[in-house]
């Protein structure tokens, strides 16, 4: 790929991106490698202002780790467990309901289901648990638990189960306001021996793209994104963003793209791999904003930038993701979520306005075919006139009582 920079070219590319004309991967790479950080961030903010105005959203969610068993062994993951390891667990329906109910009482509107991929394919213990509950596959159990939570608590499920065949996506659409799966990367290189996705058969990029495409074919509002700093090159990052863009242009279903920065975790294969630095994160976010279609929302998780999280706003994000008042971020338990009050104050200090959204973004609520009829009434109860979360009890962003505090232990 020729990325040599000619005089005046950076300014022209920034102007092209700011005008909303799509950058191809080689153009985006020129910007990522050669533009001054201040110019990149400024262009990304200008594009955010035009596309999204002043609103930066978040979703008040309860995190439901349905099972920590997983057949994959991603090199950075502390969530997954083998049977018998401390923390190896399948949540029972009673446990799921109790946790969801505690979230509802704390003002949550979203039930985020996170879980390992297909543990029943390799662990007899997983098959045995599922058989006792009357299921043969984790995806069937997940769909039932989403239906249970929707019916009994009124929370809007958002499931993140990894790879999903089309039939499972169809069933999840009937109980989920939106569904998610990180693309992470399109680089098959990272599947090689010793790389981040070695021994992770569910991280084959072509399979993940197939799931995202199948969600689009079924008009499911979808969350995806990239993971940066796991051994990929900048060109591979941008190819990943371009692949997401292509699917969104085809189906119009990508409600948000997350750019998540790698943080090394003790006890993992990648424990001594260097973290993705803040500067790298800001530049990648800015290029993502410049590459993605204007209607796509851009999110970065605040807890993975620790005290620097307000700076993420400089790079054009317009969403902080799901914030849990009652449960840890089980995927990154070492990184405490900032208080919602701290998010509100950082957002206001940047001249922006924090708004709570639902698990489905406002623009998708009215989009024909994207909400299953079974969810319409519930979403209407929770939304305001603009499609954000209706303000109510427990929703005061400035409330620092235990109900709004994020547990860090
Ligand atoms: S990141 Fe997901 S797929 Fe990979 S090991 Fe962890 S739980 Fe399994």
DSSP-derived secondary structure for 31-55: HHHHS-HHHHHHHHHHHHHHHHTTE
Alpha-carbon dihedral of residues 61, 64, 69, 73, nearest 10 degrees?
10
pLDDT at 390: 93
Nearest-CA residue for atom 4 of ligand 1: 74
Give Cα separations from 168 to 4, 75, 86 (angstroms): 46, 27, 30
Cβ 116 under 6 angstroms from ligand 1: yes
Cβ 72 under 6 angstroms from ligand 1: yes
Nearest partner of 109 among 384, 409, 405, 300, judged by Cα: 384
Distance 79 CA to ligand 1 centre (A): 7
**Rounded mean pLDDT of 157-186?**
98
**Rounded mean pLDDT of 17-39?**
95
**Rounded mean pLDDT of 14-33?**
94
pLDDT at 391: 75
pLDDT at 2: 56
pLDDT at 324: 85
Cβ 119 under 6 angstroms from ligand 1: no
Asked, for residue 400, whether it belongs to a domain, the answer is no
Our count of domains for the chain comes to 1
pLDDT at 326: 72
Cβ 117 under 6 angstroms from ligand 1: yes
Asked, for residue 30, whether it belongs to a domain, the answer is no
- Is the model's pLDDT at 113 over the cut of 50? yes
d(CA 274, CA 278): 12
Nearest-CA residue for atom 3 of ligand 1: 72
Asked, for residue 16, whether it belongs to a domain, the answer is no
Pocket of ligand 1, candidates 116, 138, 205: which has the most ligand atoms within 8 Å of its Cβ, to mutate? 116
d(CA 269, CA 116): 18
Confidence of residue 393 (pLDDT cuts 50, 70, 90): very low
State the residue range of the domain holding 268.
Answer: 45-382
* Sequence-ordered list of residues with C-beta below 8 angstroms from that of 175, at least 6 positions apart, any chain: 143, 146, 147, 149, 150, 157, 372, 374, 375
CATH number of the domain enclosing 293? 3.20.20.70
Asked, for residue 51, whether it belongs to a domain, the answer is yes
pLDDT at 409: 22
Residue 186 belongs to what H/E stretch? none
Asked, for residue 390, whether it belongs to a domain, the answer is no
pLDDT 10s digits, 188-207: 999 999 999 999 999 999 99
pLDDT 10s digits, 229-277: 999 999 999 999 999 999 999 999 999 999 999 999 999 999 999 999 9
Pocket of ligand 1, candidates 68, 123, 159, 200: which has the most ligand atoms within 8 Å of its Cβ, to mutate? 200
* 153, burial (CB in 10 Å: exposed 0-12, middle 13-18, buried 19+): buried
Asked, for residue 355, whether it belongs to a domain, the answer is yes
Nearest-CA residue for atom 2 of ligand 1: 116
**What ligand 1 atom has the least distance to the C-alpha of 197?**
4
**3 state DSSP class of 161:** coil
pLDDT at 395: 45
pLDDT at 408: 24
Phi and psi dihedrals of 311, rounded to 5? -65, -20
Pocket of ligand 1, candidates 67, 69, 78, 79: which has the most ligand atoms within 8 Å of its Cβ, to mutate? 79
d(CA 391, CA 373): 24
Cβ 80 under 6 angstroms from ligand 1: yes
pLDDT at 20: 87
**What ligand 1 atom has the least distance to the C-alpha of 162?**
3
pTM: 0.93
Cβ 262 under 6 angstroms from ligand 1: no
pLDDT at 106: 87
* Sequence-ordered list of residues with C-beta below 8 angstroms from that of 13, at least 6 positions apart, any chain: 23, 27, 30, 31, 35
pLDDT 10s digits, 265-289: 999 999 999 999 999 999 999 999 9
pLDDT 10s digits, 119-132: 999 999 999 999 99
- Is the model's pLDDT at 385 over the cut of 90? yes
* Sequence-ordered list of residues with C-beta below 8 angstroms from that of 174, at least 6 positions apart, any chain: 147, 372, 374, 375
Asked, for residue 226, whether it belongs to a domain, the answer is yes
pLDDT at 401: 30
d(CA 69, CA 88): 6
Confidence of residue 399 (pLDDT cuts 50, 70, 90): very low
- Is the model's pLDDT at 116 over the cut of 50? yes
- Is the model's pLDDT at 358 over the cut of 60? yes
Asked, for residue 215, whether it belongs to a domain, the answer is yes
d(CA 284, CA 240): 12
Q: Number of helices (H) and strands (E), helices first, in the chain? A: 13, 9
Cβ 273 under 6 angstroms from ligand 1: no
């Amino acid at each position: 790929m020729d990325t040599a920079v000619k005089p005046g070219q950076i300014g022209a590319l920034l102007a092209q991106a700011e005008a909303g004309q799509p950058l191809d991967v080689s153009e985006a790479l020129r910007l990522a490698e050669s533009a001054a950080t201040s110019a990149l961030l400024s262009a990304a903010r200008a594009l955010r202002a035009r596309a999204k105005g002043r609103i930066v959203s978040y979703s008040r969610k309860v995190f439901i780790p349905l099972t920590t068993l997983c057949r994959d062994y991603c090199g950075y993951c502390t969530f997954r467990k083998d049977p018998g390891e401390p923390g190896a667990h399948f949540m029972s329906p009673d446990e799921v309901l109790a946790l969801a109910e505690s979230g509802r009482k704390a003002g949550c509107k979203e039930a985020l289901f996170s879980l390992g991929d297909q543990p029943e394919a390799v662990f007899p213990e997983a098959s045995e648990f599922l058989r006792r509950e009357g299921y043969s596959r984790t995806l069937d159990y997940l769909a039932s638990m989403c239906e249970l939570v929707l019916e009994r608590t009124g929370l809007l499920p958002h499931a993140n189960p990894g790879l999903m065949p089309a039939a499972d996506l169809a069933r999840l659409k009937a109980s989920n306001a939106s569904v998610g799966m990180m693309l992470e990367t399109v680089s098959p290189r990272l599947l090689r021996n010793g790389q981040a996705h070695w021994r992770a058969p569910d991280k084959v990029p072509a399979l993940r793209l197939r799931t995202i495409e199948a969600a689009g074919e079924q008009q499911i509002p979808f969350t995806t994104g990239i993971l940066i700093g796991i051994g990929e090159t900048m060109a591979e990052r941008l190819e990943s963003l371009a692949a997401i863009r292509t699917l969104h242009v085809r189906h119009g279903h990508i409600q948000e793209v997350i750019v998540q920065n790698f943080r090394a975790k003790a006890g993992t294969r990648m424990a001594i791999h260097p973290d993705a630095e803040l500067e790298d994160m800001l530049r990648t976010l800015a290029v993502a904003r410049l590459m993605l279609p204007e209607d796509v929302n851009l999110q970065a998780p605040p807890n993975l930038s620790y005290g620097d999280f307000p700076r993420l706003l400089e790079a054009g994000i317009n969403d902080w993701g799901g914030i849990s008042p009652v449960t840890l971020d089980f995927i990154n338990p070492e990184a405490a979520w900032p208080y919602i009050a701290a998010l509100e104050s950082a957002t206001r200090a940047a001249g922006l306005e924090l708004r709570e959204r639902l698990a489905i973004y406002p623009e998708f609520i009215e989009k024909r075919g994207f909400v299953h009829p079974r969810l319409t009434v519930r979403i209407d109860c929770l939304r305001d006139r603009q499609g954000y979360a209706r303000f109510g009890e427990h929703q005061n962003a400035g409330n620092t009582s235990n109900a709004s505090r994020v547990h860090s232990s």
